[in-house]
């Protein structure tokens, strides 16, 4: 199992280093970064609106006030 994981790691590492060296790879990595950022933001917002935490309630109130001030 350990050999398989190490082999997979080496393959992924070599492919990522190849992507970093080409312009197409740079664009791909940028899009992956943007997608990761969107996932983090959506995940954070879902936690804010689903949880009953003090921090979540404060952020929820700020977001609601922001939306009301725009509209």
Query: What pLDDT score was predicted for residue 38?
Result: 92
Distances (CA, A) of 24 to 6, 36, 57: 27, 18, 42
Domain range enclosing 40: 2-70
Q: Higher model confidence: residue 6 or residue 66?
A: 66
Query: What pLDDT score was predicted for residue 35?
Result: 92
pLDDT tens digits for 3-31?
Answer: 777 777 777 777 777 665 666 667 788 88
Model confidence, pTM: 0.45
Q: How many domains does the chain have?
A: 1
Query: What pLDDT score was predicted for residue 18?
Result: 66
Distance CA 14, CA 54 (A): 45
């Amino acid at each position: 199992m350990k050999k398989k994981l190490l082999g997979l790691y080496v393959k992924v590492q070599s492919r990522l280093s190849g992507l970093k060296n080409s312009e197409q790879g740079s664009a791909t990595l940028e899009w992956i970064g943007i997608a990761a950022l969107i996932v983090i933001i959506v995940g954070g917002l879902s936690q804010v609106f689903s949880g009953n935490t003090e921090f979540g309630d404060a952020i929820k109130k700020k977001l609601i006030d922001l939306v009301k001030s725009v509209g």
